[in-house]
């Protein structure tokens, strides 16, 4: 039996070490580059690397800290950015042969600009499923996103490289995008933490859309506290140079989900007063309850990191068992989930079973919405360049042609009703929970050969049906995925912690408390497991863009 | 009521053609199979009782001119 892997530092700990002088940004960045040099061929983390620019940024970060200029917790921290998000250092490909390389060329998306302004070191662009809806395909010239825990398995997606890169130490944190689980699913399969922020919390300008009313941008890192640090930098719609992820100028949540709750509904923009098709005709929608948590503040108020530490006394945790434990789920999952809930109750929380309303219906609404909105974005190009799209991506998008206008509108009506029902779980006297917990997936990372159906499309009746992230994309609520244990074969399993709209603070506090008592988020895969593996398949390798 | 599989195939091919999507036979067969599985769930959305008075959440940028 090999010796246990040394535990990596979290972002928060790295930030402290930088200030204590025990590490430097240059040292962190060189280590990150060295890890990529050694292992990226095996893992397929990067689509593009910016080594020289990262070195220059790291040097600048160290110089600034040395002269007393401290830009905050991300100062000097190496980051990866999903290649659906514009970074000035190189083109955005969305892991597609079709996507226009001139799109946002030479510009940073607002979220990236905010990272840079906070002193972060951008190391490169990470692998993604094509437009967020494809699959790894051997005849496509892109790296295969392999799982650092077992490289014959998938890293998850679509923020594949952002998750596997954190797990393998290519960078300390990353940005991803999540339309149906694309942050939380790879975070789960790779054993790191990932946050789906409240809809509209983070600007989405400069991010290649998949489905406008579902897309969100968020962080991946080792711990909940790390995700909070990143969110504190990237949150806020204003000043972002464009619309929020899935919404307009920081009012997105409100525009979709009911006025003030999502932060919209402010007089003048975001609806709330329109009455005729404006986003906010029904003020019950999206209300966060509990004395107006979120409802009173909305997203116009900058996200403030919660107070971390202490116990969870008085907190009510809703435990969602139903739908998450199918017969073909991993046998270890029930015990691991039970143990995770016990950790929370051991911290003083009260657990109460809840049933997530409109479960099947909301999953259907996500399929309908993503396909319809995705096809709206792609149809012209898809009809002209069908063969340049991957089989899985074009199959996903083509499904939008099978959805009628009435189907789409009805899906949005069901989303409105379901949002109210979920809000009620957080507000009703019967339930009155502060957070809801459930497994992120019923399985550990799957092999590549089960991802597609006979046509080469995502197999929603198979493995994707065992991933329990899409439900929350139909809603506006924030959800954190944290590692909670392992399968019988040692693969990471993950816990979702969902909270009221705009209440990331509670979600992150619960995640952090859990991680104070567990070390699943600190566990790192042994590089010996993937060091000897050559790049899988005929996939391409990351390009280095030199300054 | 389940649709005739042949009708489903015709319907899917027709919709793909109308959208100008040149799917090959294997992919079309996959979309036909997926449609047959998912269509009842989509149709069921219209039976969700609480939606009778629900308005859809559709994004609108509403700009109120300044005085």
Token pair belonging to A201: 């919390």
Task: Give the closest residue to A440 by CA, choosing from A504, A396, A485.
Answer: A485
Q: Give pLDDT, residue B9.
A: 96
Q: Is the pLDDT of residue A518 over 50?
A: yes
Whether B60 and A413 lie within 8 Å, measured CB to CB: no
Q: Which of B35, B45, B59 sits opposite A279 (nearest CB)?
A: B59
Q: Please, which residues have CB within 8 angstroms of residue A421's CB and are 6 or more apart in sequence? A: A357, A358, B50
Confidence at A544, pLDDT banded by 50, 70, 90: low
Taking the alpha carbons at both ends of chain A, their separation in whole angstroms is: 44
The rounded Cα A24 to chain-centroid distance in angstroms is 28
Q: How far is A331 from chain B (nearest CA, A)?
A: 27
Q: Give pLDDT, residue A358.
A: 98
Mean pLDDT of all residues in A208-212: 97
Q: Would you say A241 and A286 are in contact if contact means Cβ atoms under 8 Å apart?
A: no
CA pseudo-torsion sign A16, A513, A177, A330:
positive
Q: What pLDDT digit, counting tens, does each position of A263-287 carry?
A: 332 222 233 322 233 322 232 333 3
* A and B: number of Cβ contacts within 8 A: 161
| Kind of pairing between the strands at A193-196 and A479-486 | antiparallel
* Residue A521 DSSP code: G
Whether B19 and A375 lie within 8 Å, measured CB to CB: yes
Q: What pLDDT digit, counting tens, does each position of A67-118 carry?
A: 999 999 999 999 999 999 999 999 999 999 999 999 999 999 999 999 999 9
Q: How far is A238 from chain B (nearest CA, A)?
A: 15
List chain A residues with CB under 8 Å of B51: 410, 413-414, 416-417
Residue spans of the domains in chain A: they are 28-241+274-360+412-544
More confident residue, A232 or A244: A232
Q: What pLDDT digit, counting tens, does each position of A431-473 carry?
A: 799 999 999 999 999 999 999 999 999 999 899 999 999 999 9
| β partners of residue A380 | none
Selected for mutation to probe chain A from B62, B64, B66 (highest A CB count within 10 Å) is B62
Confidence at A304, pLDDT banded by 50, 70, 90: confident
Q: Which of B20, B22, B41 sits opposite A364 (nearest CB)?
A: B41
As a whole number of angstroms, the distance between CA A252 and CA A196 comes to 15
Q: How far is A380 from chain B (nearest CA, A)?
A: 8
List active site positions of A.
Answer: 82, 158, 182
Whether A269 and B61 lie within 8 Å, measured CB to CB: yes
Q: Give pLDDT, residue A248.
A: 36
As a whole number of angstroms, the distance between CA A478 and CA A301 comes to 16
Please, what is the average pLDDT of chain A?
87
Whether B59 and A358 lie within 8 Å, measured CB to CB: no
Q: What are phi and psi of A154, to 5 degrees?
A: -80, 145
Task: Report the run of H or E that residue A49 belongs to, with start and end.
Answer: strand A46-49
Q: Give pLDDT, residue A545.
A: 59
Q: Give pLDDT, residue A541.
A: 60
Selected for mutation to probe chain A from B7, B57, B66 (highest A CB count within 10 Å) is B57
Q: What pLDDT digit, counting tens, does each position of A362-403 carry?
A: 999 999 999 999 999 999 999 999 999 999 999 999 999 999
Q: Give pLDDT, residue A272.
A: 30
List chain B residues with CB under 8 Å of A389: none
> What is residue A173's three-state secondary structure?
strand
Mean pLDDT of all residues in B45-67: 76
Q: Give pLDDT, residue A300.
A: 54
Q: Please, which residues have CB within 8 angstroms of residue A277's CB and are 6 or more apart in sequence? A: B55, B58, B60
As a whole number of angstroms, the distance between CA A214 and CA A93 comes to 21
Q: Give pLDDT, residue B66.
A: 54
List chain B residues with CB under 8 Å of A281: 55
**Residue given tokens 């799209």 in the structure block:** A389
ipTM: 0.91
As a whole number of angstroms, the distance between CA A45 and CA A192 comes to 15
Alpha-carbon dihedral A29, A147, A442, A81, rounded to 10 degrees: 40
Q: Give pLDDT, residue B64.
A: 54
Domain at A28-241+274-360+412-544: CATH code = 3.90.1300.10
Whether B27 and A395 lie within 8 Å, measured CB to CB: yes
Burial of A517 (0-12, 13-18, 19+ CB in 10 A): exposed
As a whole number of angstroms, the distance between CA A36 and CA A171 comes to 9
As a whole number of angstroms, the distance between CA A357 and CA A335 comes to 24
Provide, for chain A, the percentages of residues in helix, strand and coil under a 3-state DSSP scheme, each rounded to the nearest 5: 35, 15, 50
- Greatest mean pLDDT among A232-241, A298-307, A432-441, A538-547 lies in A432-441
Q: Give pLDDT, residue A2.
A: 52
Token pair belonging to A364: 């259907």
**Residue given tokens 């010996």 in the structure block:** A528
Q: What percent of chain A has pLDDT over 70?
A: 84
List chain A residues with CB under 8 Å of B64: 267-269, 273
Task: Give the closest residue to A358 by CA, choosing from A509, A513, A470.
Answer: A470
Q: Determine the angle formed by the axes of helices A504-517 and A224-234, rounding to 10 degrees.
A: 150
List chain B residues with CB under 8 Å of A382: 21
Range with lowest mean pLDDT among A5-14, A352-361, B52-61: B52-61
Q: What is the DSSP annotation of B7-18?
A: HHHHHHHHHHHH
As a whole number of angstroms, the distance between CA A266 and CA A247 comes to 14
Q: Give pLDDT, residue A292.
A: 33
Whether A285 and B23 lie within 8 Å, measured CB to CB: no
* Residue A436 DSSP code: E
* Residue A6 DSSP code: P
Q: Give pLDDT, residue A81.
A: 98
Q: Which of B16, B45, B54 sits opposite A361 (nearest CB)?
A: B45
List chain B residues with CB under 8 Å of A285: 57
> What is residue A185's three-state secondary structure?
helix
Locate the chain A residue with the closest alpha carbon to B62: A269
As a whole number of angstroms, the distance between CA A121 and CA A29 comes to 8
Confidence at B5, pLDDT banded by 50, 70, 90: confident
Q: Is the pLDDT of residue A202 over 80?
A: yes
């Amino acid at each position: 039996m090999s010796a246990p892997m040394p535990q990596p530092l979290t972002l928060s700990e790295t930030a402290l070490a930088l200030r204590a002088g025990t590490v430097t940004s240059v040292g962190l960045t060189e280590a990150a580059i060295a890890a990529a040099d050694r292992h990226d061929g095996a893992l397929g983390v990067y689509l593009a690397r910016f080594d020289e620019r990262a070195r220059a940024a790291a040097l600048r970060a160290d110089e600034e800290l040395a002269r007393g200029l401290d830009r905050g917790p991300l100062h000097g921290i190496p980051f990866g950015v999903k290649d659906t998000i514009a970074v000035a250092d190189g083109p955005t490909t969305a892991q597609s042969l079709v996507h226009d390389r001139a799109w946002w060329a030479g510009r940073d998306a607002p979220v990236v600009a905010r990272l840079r302004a906070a002193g972060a070191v951008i190391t490169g662009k990470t692998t993604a499923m094509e437009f967020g809806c494809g699959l790894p395909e051997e005849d496509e010239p892109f790296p295969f996103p392999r799982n650092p825990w077992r490289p014959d398995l998938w890293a998850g997606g679509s923020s594949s490289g952002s998750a596997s890169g954190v797990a393998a130490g290519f960078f300390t944190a990353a940005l991803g995008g999540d339309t149906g689980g694309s942050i939380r699913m790879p975070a789960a399969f790779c054993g790191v933490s990932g946050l789906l922020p409240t809809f509209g919390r983070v600007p989405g300008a400069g991010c290649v859309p998949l489905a406008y009313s579902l897309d969100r941008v968020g962080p991946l890192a080792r711990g909940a506290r790390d995700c909070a640090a990143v969110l504190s930098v990237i949150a806020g719609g204003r000043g972002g140079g464009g619309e929020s992820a899935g919404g307009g100028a920081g009012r997105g949540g409100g525009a979709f989900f009911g006025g003030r709750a999502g932060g919209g509904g402010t007089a003048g923009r975001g609806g709330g007063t329109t009455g005729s098709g404006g986003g906010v005709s029904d003020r019950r929608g999206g209300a966060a309850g509990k004395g107006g948590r979120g409802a009173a503040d909305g997203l116009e108020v900058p996200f403030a990191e919660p107070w971390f530490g202490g116990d969870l006394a008085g907190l009510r945790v809703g435990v969602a068992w139903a739908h998450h434990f199918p017969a073909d789920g991993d046998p270890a999952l029930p015990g691991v989930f039970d143990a995770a809930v016990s950790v929370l109750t051991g911290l003083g929380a009260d657990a109460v079973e809840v049933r997530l309303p409109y479960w099947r219906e909301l999953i259907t609404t996500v399929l309908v919405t993503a396909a319809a909105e995705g096809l709206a974005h792609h149809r012209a190009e898809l009809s002209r360049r069908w063969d340049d799209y991957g089989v899985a991506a074009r199959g996903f998008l083509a499904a939008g042609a099978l959805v009628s206008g009435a189907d789409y509108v009805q899906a949005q009506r069901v989303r409105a009703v379901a949002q109210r029902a979920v809000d009620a779980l957080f507000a009703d006297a019967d339930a009155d929970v502060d957070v809801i917990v459930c497994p992120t997936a019923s399985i550990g990372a799957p092999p590549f050969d089960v991802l597609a159906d006979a046509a080469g499309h995502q197999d929603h009746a198979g493995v994707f049906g065992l991933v329990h992230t899409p439900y929350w994309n139909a809603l506006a609520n924030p959800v954190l995925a944290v590692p909670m244990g392992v399968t019988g074969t040692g693969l990471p399993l993950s816990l979702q912690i969902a909270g009221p709209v705009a209440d990331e603070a509670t979600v992150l506090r619960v995640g952090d408390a859990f991680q104070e008592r567990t070390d699943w988020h600190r566990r790192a895969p042994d590089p010996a497991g993937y060091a000897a593996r050559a790049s899988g398949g005929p996939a391409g390798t990351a390009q280095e863009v030199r300054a | 009521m389940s649709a005739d599989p042949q009708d489903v195939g015709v319907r899917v091919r027709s919709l793909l053609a109308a959208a100008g999507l040149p799917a090959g036979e294997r992919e079309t067969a996959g979309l036909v199979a997926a449609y047959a599985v998912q269509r009842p769930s989509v149709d069921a959305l219209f039976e969700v009782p609480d939606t009778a008075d629900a308005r859809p959440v559709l994004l609108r940028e509403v700009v109120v001119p300044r005085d």
